[in-house]
Amino acid sequence: FESYSFTIEDEVRAANLELGERIVHVRAGCIDCHGEDLTGRMVMDNPAMGTIHAPNITPHRLADWTDTQIARAIRYGVSKDGHSLRFMPSFDYENYSKGDIAAIIKYLRSVPAIESEYKESTFGPMAKILSALNKMPIMFPAKAIAQDKGFGFKPAEEATLQFGQYLANTCVGCHGPELRGGPIPGGDPSWPHAPNIRLGANKVWNEEVFTQMIKTGISPTSNNKLRAPMPIALLKQYNQTEIDALWLFLSSLE
């Protein structure tokens, strides 16, 4: 994974810093793994799967990375030295536009450079078996993502089905490429299965119910709080345009 077919430095200089902050803190869920201050945190601690630590992604860690190297890490799951990152959900970002990736990088460059102790991740027997059977693509995402695939197209940020589909790209890591749910690949065995979020044929759902679920974090089917790893705190920050767009897309799927 050593060759680069693009550069992104010009786009980063022109990128929208506020958009980058919103993507990192809300839409992409980066803080769920890397922490509110982006210095990293433990994502999983399970004997079967291992102890997974997300790294520091402040300028303290990224100072010697080029913008293009950061973009390739996000988009393709490739580290600075050309090897596959491990436990990086790049599938969620492989359809992001070049402008959105550039905005993320501009924001990451702007945050305080905070030093933190580097903690190596360790992988348990189940993780190793699943990876060997190619049932855990998150272990080596660069091997599962086409390196010659370009950036995605981003529609206007409006309450449209097209923008909803673009936002829903970040759901595939848990809910699957067809959003039908099931066991979360590479997830902690204690996590519940991801539900089917193709809502068009589900009579429980309408736009009002969907909006309430996003704003309250309470499932309308069980009346219980949504459980981790669902990013409840992030969903509650979605604005009405984002909620409406997601509903239009998910309700179109049967």
What pLDDT, on a 0 to 100 scale, did the predictor assign at position 1?
67
Q: How many CB atoms lie within 10 A of CB 168?
A: 18
Q: What is the rounded distance in angstroms from the CA atom of residue 196 to the CA atom of residue 176? A: 9
If DSSP codes are grouped into helix, strand and coil, which group holds residue 123? strand
The 50-54 sheet, strands edge to edge? 41-46, 50-54, 122-123
What pLDDT, on a 0 to 100 scale, did the predictor assign at position 154?
98
Q: How many CB atoms lie within 10 A of CB 47?
A: 10
Task: For the chain, list residues with pLDDT below 50.
Answer: none
- Per residue in 137-170, pLDDT (tens digit) is 888 899 889 888 899 999 999 999 999 999 999 9
What pLDDT, on a 0 to 100 scale, did the predictor assign at position 252?
97
How would you class 49 by CB atoms within 10 Å of its CB: exposed for 0-12, middle for 13-18, buried for 19 or more?
Answer: buried
- Per residue in 43-74, pLDDT (tens digit) is 999 898 999 999 999 999 999 999 999 999 99
Do residues 185 and 172 touch, judged by C-beta distance below 8 A?
A: no
Q: Which tokens go with 60? A: 């303290």
